[in-house]
Chains A and B, each alone.
Chain A
């Protein structure tokens, strides 16, 4: 129990400060108030909408009111902030601002280099499409101050090259940039200088801290169970019917004098389900060798074929029957889906194997293989993590290994301590995920029901809702 509870408790305790860790980092210098109406900007910063508009009338220097007869069209941003983008490679800045605009308000940015303003955004984007601080918890945490503030990311500027064509130039790391925010409303636009800040490169992605800690903990749990299993190899695994039937299927094939057909799926060896299937092939081959039966392994991938040949050869060797191994029984057919299926169906109809093992990753051909096998009267054991094909296997095969039962099969059949230990470690991980789901659901529900912070007991339920969010 301690082995299970301790890692889970560690995760929960670590999650608490993580919510505080992912805070809004210290802002860069230059959180200037928006300037008064500026003179028309340089040609490099024309908005995409049309010809340079007339300069807006300057507001009164004392009251800030616009002169009579003019209409202040361009909305004014407030709480503006220019900062380096956190957890990045030092090539982007963030502009944070509050702005009450209309449906047609557009936002752009400009950067000052060698006395000339250059556009950071080729076409100013609609204000409504910009994310807010609340949408970016990786940068600002789950409870940022001023969560409705908009965030504009700038990471390049456009300049004209020697050929007269526009060229996009990315920001450099560790470089100072003077930036202005440009607000466009219809034909009018206005620039607001935000000051200067420096891009900085970070060496750790803080937003990924929770997944790093969890993955390290999961790895530690798996490894500790593997080493524990070496000391106590008698670990319990529940019965998996499909795997219990393997012996029965091979025995049936031996009695009938028919071969056993094994298919490793249609994915290359880089797919983990294929590795699991080849693992099981080794166990099956050993039993086939013991029972002196025949094994056919038509392969979809030449690399899988090579590895399967080695695996089966070793299995026959370990069973003490190296003479019975025939390399031409494990063969490559084709790497085209339906050509492979047609070939295998032909083999099934001609050879009439008594037992079919369909293990690995399958696509649309799953049903064709299973139906043809069923029509020949073979006992069929299927196993796949292809979710779309599971229903077909469940309806047409005698036994089906669903999802991770396929991965557990090698541990189940071999009873090797290391594999069993890994399986138990996975179960701990699953138990932890289940607990998080239940707790998260409960807390989210409570937080939703009690919408006002502190409405029930003066306690901020919103904080509880976000307690487990970094873990998700």
Chain B
């Protein structure tokens, strides 16, 4: 038995990889609906945006790439649906060079979404008036400080090369201080820069969507009230999708929600393997100790 435990503790990594592979694959092929309720952090982020008045400008900074799409892109799409439904005016930009492609993709997906009758959900949304995608600019903090002074000076053209000075949206929303909210969708450490350089400086409240790995480091800001809401990981995005009502809007299970059973399975496997490995480790250690005492 002890020999078996010793061999188990030195299990080939490839067996672990195979088990993880099947834990992810099988729930995606045979989906089981996972029930969950939105947590307080996500509800606060949702309610803060719901409380904005129609016509308010909201900055959405998409600081993520393809690698964190399940956690960030799903939230981005749900957020755009909420913004357009509430007739808010999203000002979308990205501070990472691989961001524009996904921003454009999400915007296109939302603007082209149709209801059950085949009619466009948001037919009259016009770029430059109801929303604007400013694209990417290098500099991170410089861009934040720049838009705190003036949008049009920092971004003379939008992503489609249209001059921002002639856009109706920038006639009244001239700088960051005129916006009512900031949402940072981040896979990198940029929320910690958005806070002092934008949110606190211009007194605009903000919420953050981040990966599950980095959510723990943003809790101090959330508990201090510097981030109004914190949507962490794929589960946070799934909760946000539930609050926005993505399933009713799109008519199918949204992506983050669909990934919950797979995440469930992998987490359970990892926890069980940790517990099992520790039980075996303690047993082997005890056996070695008694063997040393006896011999």
Contact = CB atoms under 8 A, between A and B. Distances in A.
A378 B22 CA distance: 31
Interface in B180-206: 188-189
B171 A167 contact: yes
Contacts of B174: 156, 168, 170
Q: Is the interface on chain B under 10, 10 to 19, 20 to 34, or 35 or more residues?
A: 10 to 19
Nearest to A364: B213
A337 B188 CA distance: 12
- Secondary structure at the A interface, as helix, strand, loop or mixed, is mixed
A396 interface: no
A363 B53 contact: no
Contact of B55 (A123, A166, A364): A123
B216 A122 contact: no
A122 B172 contact: yes
Interface string B164-175: 000010011010
A316 B233 CA distance: 46
Contacts of A129: 53
A131 B83 CA distance: 24
B67 interface: yes
B273 interface: no
Given A364-B67, A364-B213, A388-B216, A165 B53 contact: no
Contacts of B214: 388
Contacts of A156: 174
A340 B170 CA distance: 40
Contacts of A387: 216-217
Interface in A379-424: 386-389
Nearest to B52: A129
Given A125-B53, A338-B67, A168 B172 contact: yes
A366 to B, nearest CB: 9
Contacts of B55: 123
B78 to A, nearest CB: 23
Nearest to B189: A386
A105 interface: no
A126 interface: yes
A274 interface: no
B171 A126 contact: no
A158 interface: yes
Given A123-B55, A338-B67, A363-B188, A166 B216 contact: no
B67 A123 contact: no
Contacts of B189: 386
Contacts of A126: 53
A278 B55 CA distance: 49
Contacts of A125: 53
Nearest to B177: A155
15 contacts: A122-B172, A123-B53, A123-B55, A126-B53, A158-B172, A165-B168, A166-B171, A337-B67, A363-B188, A364-B67, A387-B216, A387-B217, A388-B214, A388-B216, A388-B217
Interface of A: 122-123, 125-126, 129, 156, 158, 165-168, 170, 337-338, 363-364, 375, 386-389
Given A123-B55, A166-B171, A387-B216, 12 more contacts: A122-B172, A126-B53, A166-B172, A167-B171, A168-B172, A170-B174, A337-B67, A364-B211, A364-B213, A375-B13, A388-B214, A388-B217
